[in-house]
Amino acid sequence: MYLEEKLDEMQEQLRNLNQFMMMLMPDLSNKKNVQHFLQITRQTMATYIKEGIIKEDVHYYLDDNGNEIFIPEEIIKLKAFGFRKQPNKAKSENATRVLANMGIKV
């Protein structure tokens, strides 16, 4: 019985900690708060969306009115694991051809 009581106590502490964190966490469902959280400008945000670093249906979705609604968990992951630009396959293939024409083996 002692072990069950300890587990119950730990679960309660975890719930309390989670509630406390939620009170401190900004609303990451809107663009302005996401920009502030990621510490980027409006222009950088637009660039990240254009280049596919911040992806529709992964990091945000469009509501019925066409407004961007961001997914907090994915925004937190993005900040935690860094911003990775998706490689442009056409540019990569072009660079390989250029290097091959220069006699550089890739």
pLDDT of residue 54: 95
Q: Residue 63 pLDDT more than 90? A: yes
Whole-number Å distance between alpha carbons of 36 and 64: 25
Residue 20 zone, left/alpha/beta (φ > 0; ψ -120 to 50; rest): alpha
Q: Residue 82 pLDDT more than 80? A: yes
Token output for 57: 């249906």
The whole-chain average pLDDT of the chain stands at: 86
Is 82 inside a domain boundary? yes
Is 7 inside a domain boundary? no
Is 6 inside a domain boundary? no
Token output for 50: 């254009």
Q: Which residues span the domain enclosing 89? A: 27-101
Q: Residue 77 pLDDT more than 80? A: yes
Is 80 inside a domain boundary? yes
Residue range 73-88: mean pLDDT, rounded: 80
Is 85 inside a domain boundary? yes
**The total number of structural domains that make up the chain:** 1
